Structure 1
Amino acid sequence: MGRVKSATRNIAFGYVGQIATALMSFILRTVFIMHLNEDLLGINSTYGNILSLLNMAELGIGTALNFSLYGPVARGEKEKIKSYMQLYRKAYFIIACVVAAVGLLLTPFLQYFKLRSPENTSVRELTIYYLIFLFNTVSSYFVAYKYSLINAEQKNYIQTNILTITKVIVVFLQIIVVIVTKNFLLYLLTDAVVQLIQKIFVSKFLDKMYPFLKEKNVEKLSKEESDEVWKKTKALVFHKVGDVARLQTDALIISTFVEVAMAGVVDNYNMVISTVSNFVNIIFNSVISSFGNLIATESREKQFSMFKVYRFFASWIYGFSCVGFMVLLTPLIRIWLGDHWILTSAAVYCILIDYYFKGDRIVLSNYKTAAGVFEPDKYLALIQGVVNLVISIVLVQTPLGITGIYIGTIVSGLIANVTKPIIIYRECFDMKAGSYFVDTAKYLASLVFVLVVSQLISVNVLANLNILTFILMAIIITVLFNGFYFVLYGRSEEFKYLTGKVREKLGR
């Protein structure tokens, strides 16, 4: 199956899955807020982030191994695949043990995470909730390694379908549990039980799909091959630790320095943003394995051409969604949940600024992952993590409050926006990155222009906020942004390539 066809299938199934899970998740969140208190929503968000901190024990082994599999899969080297998968299985067993041990050691100290304002929740209840989260995390490692092969074969849709079906079942059952029992513990146990059943099924399903992985005659990797995996893994340790410090600590800082309920308020905004960005990311994440195949089989010129196409597309899609969020996110929360759940405008803008710049570097990150370029900037992520923690903790205690946390996130993220292009262009394309920054300025200026015009129009359109005026403003933004970008970039080579692929698919 060709790269474009594989990516198209992955994207198509990804969208179906995302639509289903997004709809169910919004219903569940609404039911949760109606029947359970906001402190529990904040606890749910905070514990999710604490377990994300523990996930840094994975240390990037999965990413390093996926990169190692692209070549053997493209060349059909079954024995080499078996060797890498054996290494992966052993590594993830160790990871599961490490995460379980560290997670259990943290349990007595949960009471020292301030989690301000959960008056109705005892330490015993908090501990039980945490242990359920920990169980879900640890058990996932026993099947996670098996997904690497289907992803290396560009069959991401298999994982997508399994996760979608599981998510729909979980959410459906959780909605019933919340409405009938109003019990947060049963809400969490429902998720844990269904997820466990899914993991058992996945393990058996993938064993049948790849029966050769159960064969006993597995050759050990050569020292050179093993050293290459561990070299990249060591570099990814730094990336993982830095990313955790930068991306997974916001809810914990909010719960500690503001209040746990505010973590739930922010989580509503993040849920909307992540729902939309997940639609966008389906496209870009679905082509990581295609990038890996491209790098393994095509010339550097072809690689650079495709990189530019996806970078242009990312700037367009993330620019469009960012403008939409800037104008419509708070009105949407107001319609959906009411004024009680509204964040300050400054905090929302900071969250969305970080969202745009994160999107601006998504193709860089995905290409870098597919190419296995981890060593040159391995200390950069640590620097970003330290910058984020220092700025966020200092500013959250000033009158800026929660806005200060996201200022730290923006500043630390921009470090990567400046350095990653230089590294990727040098390591992967043997070029200087000047043209990349010129394009960045051009795309950003286009976005700001459309945003200013959209904001001016929204003052009148949204003066009387309701569902109809909200939809009208969404239509205006869609026409204005895409029309403006078509006029500016419709003649570019990147746009012509994308429209050519669309016509090719429609022609079929």
Structure 2
Amino acid sequence: MGRVRYATRNIIFGFLGSGATTLLNFILRQVFITHLGDTLLGVQDLYSEILTMLSLAELGVGTALNYSLYGPVARGEREKIKSYMQLYKKAYRTIAIVIAVIGLALVPFLPWIVKNADYLTLRQLRVYYLLFLFNTVTTYFVAYKYSLANAEQKNYIQTNADAISKAVSVVLQLLGLLVLPNYLLYLLIQVGVSLGQKIFISCYLNRKYPLLLEKNVEPLTKEETGAVVDKTKALMLHRIGDMARLQTDAIIISSCLGVVWVGLIGTYKMIVNSVSGYVNLIFNSVISSFGNLIATESREKQFQLFLVYRFFAIWVYGFSAVGFFLLLSPLVELYVGADRVLATSIIAWYLTDYFFKGERVVLSNFKTAAGVFEQDKYLSILQGIVNLVLSIALVFKIGLAGVFIGTVVSGLIANITKPIIIYRVCFEKSAVSYFQESIKYLLVIGAALAVLIPLQNLLMPQVTIAKFALMIVIITVVFNGIFLIVFGRTEEFKYLYGMVKGRWKRS
């Protein structure tokens, strides 16, 4: 099965899984707010962010080992695969212990992190947090097994397992909230279903890949182990910086403004993540295919597909960012009420970060597939420092928008430096053309907004379902029409069109 077919299968299964869980998550959040309130919603979102931050204690081990697996898997080197998987297993068990220790060390600080939690006692906050921690730690005893399937470009195995367990968990949580609206029961259902899924998938992958259970494993050579360690050291700095830049916003918001604000922005994030989840599936599903491409194809071929990949990303992320800017707050109003709508300035900064983060997805995925980790290993640390300093300074001056300004500014550092590194290291080219294209893309997206904002003011003075649906159609036609007029004759568009046309004919 070829790279395109594997990537297509990963995308299709990802879409099907996300479609089911997205609808259920929307229903679940609305029922959650109705039965448990905004304070517990804020606690839920805050703890999710904290545990995501703790998960970065993995510090790039998985990424480095995934990269190391691409070559042996492509060449069918069974013994070498066993050796890497053994190293991966030992590393992840150590990581699980580290996360557990760090997570427990945070327990005494919960009163300072969770501000304005109203009626919730400290004992309740601790119990809820420990359940989140248990759910995260147990993941690492199974997660390493997915790497072999992903290296074979079979990401859909993990996608399907996650989607099914999520759907089961959400349905049971919905029933629990309707019958007995108790947050402890809500969390126990989530933990129980997740634990069952981990046990099942571990057994499944053991049967699919019997080599995971074989005892006669040759250790890696010093050179091979050293290569993994060097990449992990570089990625460690990336992850620490990412932790400071991406996973501290909720803590800053909760400790400075109150935990309820975490829940308010969390509703916006859930909607954006639900829709962007489909977008991310497309781009994340081709990482393993890029790894295979880089291991087997010429540099010129890699560059050609990078340009196509980037063009497609700008189109999709630009379209979704414009749509979100115009329709996100109206959707929140229809979904949970006008009293939970945030200021336009807050949403503008949040979506600016969303767009530039989408552009970084292309850069980060290609760097990961190419194993380019060391050249910018200190960059994330700088980004993390910039984000913390700006976010904390501005949150006291201008409120919630200040947190996202810090995130945008720190993120732009990577948008400028990563292309230079990739073009020099991977393609041996100057990145000037990359930035010239960036200006062109931004001007086209700005032109689409300039046309659409007056149309929205004219056609949707009040928010109704009918006018909301009409604006979806108008945004889709206008944005994509402008994009096609400007870029319809480019080589990148022709390549995408030819690929889609070819798939259509074969089906």
Deviations 1:164-213 (A, max 9, x none): 10010000000011111110111011000000000000110000000022
CA distance in 2, matches of 1:94, 1:414: 34
1:56 maps to a residue whose letter is L
CA distance in 2, matches of 1:464, 1:266: 22
SS of the aligned residue for 1:142 comes to coil
Deviations 1:368-400 (A, max 9, x none): 0011100010000000000000000000011x1
SS of the aligned residue for 2:141 comes to helix
Q: How does 1:320-331 map to 2 (within 5 A)?
A: 320-331=319-330
CA distance in 2, matches of 1:276, 1:27: 15
Look up the match of 1:77. 77
CA distance in 2, matches of 1:51, 1:464: 39
Look up the match of 1:54. 54
Match of 1:421 among 409, 419, 422: 419
Q: How does 1:312-461 map to 2 (within 5 A)?
A: 312-398=311-397, 400-461=398-459
Look up the match of 2:224. 225
Tell me by how many angstroms 1:216 deviates: 1.1
CA distance in 2, matches of 1:99, 1:338: 38
Look up the match of 1:167. 166
CA distance in 2, matches of 1:183, 1:198: 23
Tell me by how many angstroms 1:101 deviates: 1.4
Look up the match of 2:104. 104
SS of the aligned residue for 1:216 comes to coil
Q: Report if the CA contact (8 A) 2:346-2:404 is conserved.
A: yes
1:362 maps to a residue whose letter is V
Across the two proteins, how many residue pairs are aligned to each other? Answer: 506
2:32 maps to a residue whose letter is F
SS of the aligned residue for 1:36 comes to helix
2:481 maps to a residue whose letter is G
Tell me by how many angstroms 1:464 deviates: 2.7
SS of the aligned residue for 1:37 comes to helix
Deviations 1:315-373 (A, max 9, x none): 00001001101111001101111111111111000000000111112111100001110
CA distance in 2, matches of 1:368, 1:162: 27
1:185 maps to a residue whose letter is L
Q: Report if the CA contact (8 A) 2:112-2:255 is conserved.
A: no
Q: Does 1:310 align with 2:309?
A: yes
2:146 maps to a residue whose letter is Y
Normalised by the size of structure 1, how large is the TM-score? 0.99
Tell me by how many angstroms 1:51 deviates: 1.3
2:223 maps to a residue whose letter is E
Deviations 1:436-492 (A, max 9, x none): 001111011000000111001000111132000001011000000111111111111
1:267 maps to a residue whose letter is G
Look up the match of 2:177. 178
Look up the match of 1:125. 124
SS of the aligned residue for 2:50 comes to helix
Question: CA RMSD for the aligned pairs?
Answer: 0.7
Look up the match of 1:94. 94
CA distance in 1, matches of 2:184, 2:336: 24
CA distance in 2, matches of 1:260, 1:105: 21
Tell me by how many angstroms 1:116 deviates: 2.1
CA distance in 2, matches of 1:110, 1:116: 9
Normalised by the size of structure 2, how large is the TM-score? 0.99
CA distance in 2, matches of 1:56, 1:161: 23
Tell me by how many angstroms 1:56 deviates: 2.3
Q: Report if the CA contact (8 A) 2:41-2:260 is conserved.
A: yes
Look up the match of 1:291. 290
Tell me by how many angstroms 1:108 deviates: 2.3
CA distance in 2, matches of 1:498, 1:9: 17
SS of the aligned residue for 1:119 comes to coil
Runs of 4+ in 1 over 4 A off after TM superposition: none
SS of the aligned residue for 2:362 comes to helix
Tell me by how many angstroms 1:59 deviates: 1.0
Tell me by how many angstroms 1:407 deviates: 0.4
